[in-house]
Amino acid sequence: MSGEAAIGIHDLSFATTQYVLTHATLAAETGTDVAKYHVGIGQRSMSVPAADEDIVTMAAAAAAPIIARHGADRIRTVVLATETSVDQAKAAGIYVHSLLGLPSATRVVELKQACYGATAALQFAVGLVHRDRTQQVLVIASDVSRYELGSPGEATQGAAAVAMLVGADPALVRIEDPSGVFTADVMDFWRPNYRSTALVDGQESISAYLQAVEGAWKDYTEQGGREPGEFRAFCYHQPFTKMAYKAHKHLLHHCGHDADEGEIARSLGHTTTYNADVGNSYTASTYLGLAALLDDADDLTGEAIGFLSYGSGSVAEFFAGTVVPGYRAHLRTEAHRAAIARRQDIDYARYRALHEHSFPADGGDHPVPRETTGPYRMAGLLGHKRIYEPR
Residue among 231, 200, 204, 202 nearest 217 (CA): 231
Cis peptide before 358 (omega within 30 of 0): no
Instruction: State the Cα–Cα distance between residues 331 and 337, nearest whole angstrom.
Output: 12
Q: Is there a contact between 160 and 15 (Cβ–Cβ < 8 Å)?
A: yes
Instruction: Give the residue among 115, 108, 131 at the shortest CA–CA distance from 56.
Output: 108
SS3 22: strand
Residue numbers annotated as active site: 83, 115, 237
Phi (first) and psi of residue 99, to 5 degrees: -60, -35
Collapsing DSSP to helix, strand or coil, 101 comes out as coil
Choose among 355, 99, 330, 317: nearest CA to 220: 317
CB-CB neighbours of 89 under 10 Å:
6
